[in-house]
Amino acid sequence: MANPRLRALSRCRKWAKKDWAITAVGFTFILFALTLLFDSRNSDTPSPTIDHHSTQGLVPLTLLNRAKATGAFCLDGSLPGYHFQKGSESGSNNWLLHIDGGGWCNSIKTCNVRKGKALGSSEYMDRLVPFAGILSRHPSQNPDFYNWNIVKIRYCDGASFAGHPESEFKNGTKLFFRGQLIWEAIMSELLSLGLSNARQALLSGCSAGGLATLIHCDEFRDHLPTDATVKCLTDPGFFLDEPDILGNRTISDFYHDVVQLQCIFPHQIIKNVRTPLFIVNPAYDFWQIQHVLVPVGSDPRGYWKRCRLNIKECDSSQIKILQGFRSSLHKALSKLEKDKEGGMFINSCFVHCQTWMAETWHSPNSPRINNKTIAESVSDWYFNRKPPKKIDCPYPCNPTCHNMITPG
Rounded to whole angstroms, the Cα distance separating 119 from 112 reads 11
Sign of the Cα pseudo-torsion (327, 331, 336, 338, in order): positive
Residue from 164, 223, 352, 362 carrying the catalytic annotation: 352
Contacts with 43 (C-beta within 8 Å, 6 or more apart), sequence order: 36, 103, 113, 114, 117, 119
Q: What is the C-alpha R_g of the chain?
A: 20
Query: Helix 208-223 vs helix 179-192: angle between axes, to the nearest 10 degrees?
Result: 50
Which residues make Cβ contacts (< 8 Å) with residue 303, sequence separation at least 6?
none
How do beta strands 200-206 and 229-235 pair?
parallel
Of 76, 157, 218, 285, the active-site residue reads 285
Task: Note whether 25 and 336 are within 8 A (CB).
Answer: yes
- Could you count the other beta carbons within 10 Å of the beta carbon of residue 54? 7
**DSSP percent split of the chain into helix, strand, coil, nearest 5:** 30, 15, 55
| Three-state secondary structure call for residue 338 | helix
Q: Is 366 annotated as catalytic?
A: no
Q: Is 135 exposed, middle or buried (0-12, 13-18, 19+ CB in 10 A)?
A: buried
Active site residue 10: no
H-run or E-run covering 179: helix 179-192
Question: Which one is catalytic: 207, 366, 377, 379?
Answer: 207
- DSSP secondary structure string for all residues of 272-302: --SS-EEEE--TT-HHHIIIIIS-GGG-TT-
β-strands 277-280, 229-235 pairing: parallel
**CA within 13 Å, CB half, 115:** 20
> If residue 8 lies in a helix (H) or strand (E), which one and from where to where?
helix 4-9
Q: How many angstroms separate the CA atoms of 318 and 321, rounded? A: 5
Residue 379 falls in the annotated catalytic set: no
What single DSSP character describes residue 270? S
Q: Which of 19, 5, 199, 206 is nearest to 102 (CA)?
A: 206
Cite the active site residues: 207, 285, 352
